[in-house]
């Protein structure tokens, strides 16, 4: 869907828009990964495996804020970095746009 949307609008100048879309998509993907871990014990264990200190992992896991806050938190962004998401196959709207953009 992302590639099709970017290909359709490739004529437009929308680099900043693509950056914002990428940021929001990655945040949502992080929230989905967080939801897949389901229980606090699994969340803590997974964050520790990704290199987050135990106290930070526990603090974020038992935080009463919503999923949006967790998806935007620096701890989760560090643990599930853009590099890791790219390795897992998450698409990047900005990269695709820069690849197919045609200037008139």
Q: Confidence class of residue 103 from pLDDT cuts 50, 70 and 90? A: low
Q: Please, how many CA atoms are within 13 Å of residue 59, restricted to the half-sphere of its CB?
A: 9
CB 80 within 8 A of CB 103: no
Q: Confidence class of residue 39 from pLDDT cuts 50, 70 and 90? A: very high
Q: Confidence class of residue 104 from pLDDT cuts 50, 70 and 90? A: low
What share of the chain has pLDDT > 70, as a percent?
Answer: 98
CB 67 within 8 A of CB 35: yes
- Among residues 29, 30, 59, the alpha carbon closest in space to that of 44 is found at 59
The residues spanned by each domain of the chain are 2-100
Note the pTM of the prediction, 2 decimals.
0.86
Residue 57 pLDDT exceeds 80: yes
């Amino acid at each position: 869907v992302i590639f099709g949307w970017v290909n359709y609008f490739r004529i437009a100048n929308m680099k900043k828009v693509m950056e914002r879309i990428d940021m929001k998509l990655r945040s949502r993907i992080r929230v989905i990964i967080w939801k897949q871990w389901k229980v606090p014990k699994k969340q803590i264990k997974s964050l520790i495996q990704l290199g987050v200190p135990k106290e930070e992992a526990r603090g974020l896991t038992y935080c009463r804020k919503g999923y949006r806050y967790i998806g935007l938190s620096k701890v989760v962004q560090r643990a599930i970095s853009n590099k890791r998401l790219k390795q897992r196959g998450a698409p990047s709207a900005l990269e695709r746009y820069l690849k197919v953009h045609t200037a008139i």
